[in-house]
Amino acid sequence: MSSPSKVLVQTPYASYPIHIGRSLSKLLIPELVEYAADGVKLAAVTDSNVRAAQSDWFARLEGLAPIHVVPAGEQSKSLAALGKVLDFLAELRLDRGGLVLAVGGGVVGDLAGFAAASYLRGVRFIQIPTTLLAMVDSSVGGKTGINIAAGKNLVGAFHQPVAVYSDLELLKTMPPREFASGMAEIVKHGMLADRELFETLESAPVLNANDPRLERIVQWNCEIKAAVVNADEKETAASGGRALLNLGHTFGHAIENVAGYGEYLHGEAIGIGLVAAALLSQRLGHLNDTDVTRIRSVVSSHRLPTRLGVSLSADKLIAAMQLDKKVRAGTIRFVVMRSIGQAETIESADLETIREIWRACGAA
């Protein structure tokens, strides 16, 4: 095994490494054995798809950590699923020195992380992301949470892991559609913070886990996100800051809400949201037609949608945006681009302009 890459997240409240490489179980399992030898109780949370796809990986956990399996899919980011995880930890009599392993994609990471944040008012956890989306986004930065009927991620906590292990070998079992979903966040990072990254993706799309550039691409994205999180861990900056990572998400979360969670994968909704954000940036005079065309092309070349495939009501989409957790004092906050590679937050946008953008993206 070649030496993995490492990115350090350093916030005012926590400091931890993100390990990125291939076959990282050779690094992680000995560490878990050491924890267990020191009397630390371990508990793992995963979903049914990951448990089946990574059976060899889980065999290495035998005798180290009991495993709780939740149903695969967004429906497991729920109060009911959270309760079952908390019951699992209580049945194991996990104490405050215990350690939770979140082995899965964003749903498992958010759910298990929130359980770790809540149980005994906070126990340690390790993120072991098994999807590209989780490796470059949800596993980095300490956001945990669940969905409720009113919207996505409206209940949660900031709870940083003690480490992240991003094993690229685990991505080889990912369906192409899921891999593409992860690329949406990578495209987003290029659009908001790094023109060179955007141009790298523009020159040749990254389409599967065998791409030799993948380790560097994942590391690059973790560095971008870590730098933002380090400066604004809890998204409290009056402008800019961690909120910039929501580029395309105010639009994308509305699509997920109105279409019904699961109709679009998260990255697919964000792909459309990134195009919508580009159109808004154009309407505000920051981007030109060529910029929007380039963005739409990069999103599309990574096998992501650029417009709604099922017609949704523009009015319902706007109503969903108004429930978004990023709304402040009744005002929808948007992230727009000043140029490709540079973004900013704005406190409002004309709702008729937003309605026109939704219609340009295929809404009714």
Measured CA to CA, the distance from residue 246 to residue 141 in angstroms comes to 13
Q: Residue 325's pLDDT is what?
A: 59
Q: Residue 14's pLDDT is what?
A: 82
Nearest to 218 by CA among 151, 170, 159: 170
Q: Which residue has the tokens 């930890």?
A: 89
Measured CA to CA, the distance from residue 81 to residue 199 in angstroms comes to 41
Instruction: State both tokens at 10.
Output: 């350093």
Q: Residue 237's pLDDT is what?
A: 72
Angle between helices 176-193 and 289-301 (to 10 degrees): 150
Q: Residue 319's pLDDT is what?
A: 93
Q: Residue 327's pLDDT is what?
A: 66
CA 141 from centroid of its chain's CA atoms: 10
Q: Which residue has the tokens 């406190």?
A: 347
Q: Residue 2's pLDDT is what?
A: 66
Helix, strand or coil, per DSSP, at residue 184: helix
Q: What domains appear along the chain, each with residue ranges and CATH number?
A: 5-173 (3.40.50.1970), 176-360 (1.20.1090.10)
Per-residue pLDDT tens, the chain, 364 aa: give them.
568 899 998 888 789 999 999 999 999 999 999 999 999 999 999 999 999 999 999 999 988 999 999 999 889 999 999 999 999 999 999 999 999 999 999 999 999 999 999 999 999 999 999 999 999 999 998 999 999 888 778 899 999 999 999 999 999 989 999 999 999 999 999 999 999 999 999 999 999 999 999 999 999 999 999 898 888 777 777 677 888 999 999 999 999 989 987 789 999 999 999 999 999 999 999 999 999 999 999 999 999 999 998 889 999 999 999 887 566 656 788 999 999 999 999 987 888 999 999 999 999 9
Which residues are known to be catalytic?
121, 143, 185, 225, 235, 242, 246, 249, 253, 266
Q: Residue 322's pLDDT is what?
A: 87
Q: Residue 278's pLDDT is what?
A: 98
Burial class (CB in 10 A: 0-12, 13-18, 19+), 157: middle
Q: Residue 314's pLDDT is what?
A: 96
